[in-house]
Amino acid sequence: MKRETRHSGVFTRRALLLMGGQVALLGGLAAKLYQVQVVEGRRYATLANENRISARMIAPPRGRILDRYGTPIAGSRINWRALLIAEQANHIPSTLDAFSRIVPLGEYERARIDREINRRRRFIPVMVREFLSWDDMARIEVNAPDLPGILVDVGTTRIYPFAEQLAHIVGYVAPPNEADVADDPLLALPGLRIGRAGMEKFHDLALRGRAGSVQLEVNAVGRVIRELDRVEGVQGEDVGLTIDAGLQRAVIDRLGDESASAVVMDCRNGEILAMATNPSFDPSLFNAGVSQAQWVEWTRDRRTPLINKATSGLYAPGSTFKMSVAIAGLEAKVISPNERIDCPGFYDLGDTRFHCWKKGGHGGVDLRNGIKLSCDVYFYEVARRVGIDRIAAMSRRLGLGVELELDLPGQRTGLIPTRDWRQSKGKLWNIGDTIVSGIGQGYIQVTPLQLATFTARLASGRVVQPHLTRRLGGALQPGHNPEDWPPLAVPERMLNMIREGMWSVVNEQSGTAPQAKLPDPKVAMAGKTGSSQVRRVSREMRESGTFDSEKLPWEYRPHALFVAFAPYDQPRYAMSVVVEHGNSGAGMAAPIARDIMAIVLQRDPANRTDPPPAQLAEVKR
- Other Cβ atoms less than 10 A from the Cβ of 502: the count is 27
The pTM (predicted TM-score) of the whole model is: 0.82
Residues 6+ apart with CB under 8 A from 407: 199, 202, 467, 468, 469
| Domain locations in the chain as residue ranges | 54-241, 245-279+308-617
pLDDT digits (tens, 9 = 90+) for 209-259: 887 766 767 665 555 567 677 777 788 999 999 999 999 999 999 999 999
Active site members: 319
pLDDT digits (tens, 9 = 90+) for 450-461: 999 999 999 999
Q: Which of the residues in the chain have pLDDT under 50?
A: 47, 615, 619-621
- DSSP-derived secondary structure for 140-200: HHHTGGGSTTEEEEEEEEEE-TTGGGGHHHH-EEE---HHHHHH-GGGGSTT--EEEEHHH
- Other Cβ atoms less than 10 A from the Cβ of 225: the count is 10
**Contact assessment for residue 292 and residue 480, using Cβ atoms and an 8 Å cutoff:** no
> How many Cα atoms sit within 13 Å of 584 on the Cβ side?
12
Rounded Cα–Cα distance for residues 467 and 481 (Å): 12
State residue 47's pLDDT score. Answer: 46
- Other Cβ atoms less than 10 A from the Cβ of 519: the count is 9
Rounded Cα–Cα distance for residues 69 and 611 (Å): 6
pLDDT digits (tens, 9 = 90+) for 181-193: 777 777 777 778 8
State residue 621's pLDDT score. Answer: 45
State residue 581's pLDDT score. Answer: 95
State residue 46's pLDDT score. Answer: 52
State residue 4's pLDDT score. Answer: 57
Pairing of strands 352-355, 272-278: unpaired
Q: What CATH class is the domain 54-241?
A: alpha beta
Determine the length of the chain: 621
Phi then psi dihedrals of residue 330, to 5 deg: -65, -45
- Other Cβ atoms less than 10 A from the Cβ of 71: the count is 16
Q: What CATH class is the domain 245-279+308-617?
A: alpha beta
Evaluated on CA atoms 111, 115, 118, 122, the torsion sign reads: negative
Amino acid at position 157, single letter: T
Residue 395's Cα: distance from chain center in Å?
A: 27
State residue 250's pLDDT score. Answer: 96
**Contact assessment for residue 199 and residue 468, using Cβ atoms and an 8 Å cutoff:** yes
Sheet holding 260-266, edge to edge: 272-278, 260-266, 573-579, 559-566, 526-532
What is the percent of the chain where pLDDT is above 90?
59
State residue 403's pLDDT score. Answer: 95
